[in-house]
Amino acid sequence: MRKVRLWLAGWAAVVMAGLLASPALAQEKPKTLYARLGGYDAIAAVTDDFFGRMEKDPQLSRFFKHLSSDSKRRARQLTVDLLCHMTGGPCFYIGRDMKTSHQGMGITPADWDLSVKYLKETLNHFKVPAKEQEEVLKAIEATRKDIVEASHK
């Protein structure tokens, strides 16, 4: 009798586990923005394209002009890590806060607007859906107050 009860209890546990794991019964966790964007490689590709557009622009290239190759690679990696972290990915951002990182660079509202234009072009280039673009741009907009300075110093 004891063996039958143990068998029934075990069988019930297996059935319950199967039901709980069933896609029909399990509640789907919404995908993070990170996952919806395509993950790390997609964020890295977007960052590379975006930086390339800014470096080629006469107005924005001044921010890259005097950086060594190593400094450019570091800025790129920090940006990838930040975007990965901001979108719910597994990355850990080790850089400074946005205010400290951009203080004294003289980034104007016009510079900001131009960089956002290039970001939109990049997102369109990679065919990022409108909903995800809106979420990315909203997250980036939240950093504006710490990056844009009223005028060149």
CATH code where residue 96 lies: 1.10.490.10
> Does 3 map to a domain?
no
* pLDDT per residue as tens digits for the range 63-122: 999 999 999 999 999 999 999 999 999 999 999 999 999 999 999 999 999 999 999 999
Q: Which residues contact 43 (CB under 8 A, 6 or more apart)?
A: 34, 37, 80, 83, 84, 87, 89
Domain count, the chain: 1
* Cβ density class 14-50: b for 16+ within 10 Å, e for less: eeeeeeeeeeeeeeeeeeebbebbeebebbbebbebb
| pLDDT above 50 for 4 | no
The answer to whether position 49 is within a domain reads: yes
Q: Tell me whether residue 18 is in a domain.
A: no
Residue 26 lies in a domain: no
* Domain region containing 76: 31-147
Residue 105 belongs to a domain: yes
In a domain, 57, yes or no: yes
List CB contacts of 84: < 8 A, sequence separation 6 or more: 34, 40, 43, 90, 91, 93
Residue 150: the pLDDT is 74
